Amino acid sequence: MQLDAAPLSSSEISRIARRIDRPLVLVGMMGVGKTTIGRKLATMLHLPFVDADEEIERAAHMAIPEIFATYGEPYFRDGERRVIARLIGEGRQSDRKVLSTGGGAFVDVSTRALVLEKAIAIWLDSDIATLVERVGRKDNRPLLKTGDPKEILTRLRDERQPYYSQAPIHVISSTQPHQITASRILRAIDQWL
């Protein structure tokens, strides 16, 4: 869904913020901008921002690449599921926050069901070229260590799209400023509520 790119006024943002009654959860591929745009969105809404990956690392006392290397992906996904459930809480007004999740979190059936029931799921989407450029900025992506990033990202995006598409809100993240993407998310939330 592409919406107007004009920035929202502070009164429009305040009006939309008052309507948000549960956590906002950003889902989508690695490199799509969930953390960066999530921080911007949280600032605009005057809500706390939480990065699920940072919370997983804090709970495990290990970096995500170390968790993958030491225990494997299934162990990581189990911890991810528990951390996201804790962060979403009961999905009440008092649990309002902006939460960014890892790229595979929404693929998990339990996590996806919880997010869809107790939060507002927002699928941030992007083309493969943009994802490849963005993930190339860091060397901390365990799933990209085994081959060509473009091929891996294309395969993962194709595999995960049926799950991501279950999010009621779908916004494209491209090279525009984060303020524009965050404004598009807010307009989409406003239309959906």
Q: Specify the residue for token string 């009440």.
A: 92
pLDDT of residue 147: 67
Q: Nearest 5 degrees, angle CA 65-CA 69-CA 73? A: 85
Which of 165, 177, 192 lies closest to 44, judged by CA? 177
Q: Is the pLDDT of residue 46 over 90?
A: yes
- List, for residues 49-64, the tens digit of each pLDDT value: 999 999 999 988 998 8
pLDDT of residue 138: 60
- List, for residues 97-144, the tens digit of each pLDDT value: 999 998 889 999 999 999 999 999 999 999 888 888 777 566 655 555
CA distance 152 to 157: 8
- State the average pLDDT over residues 155-163: 93
Which of 44, 49, 43 lies closest to 11, judged by CA? 44
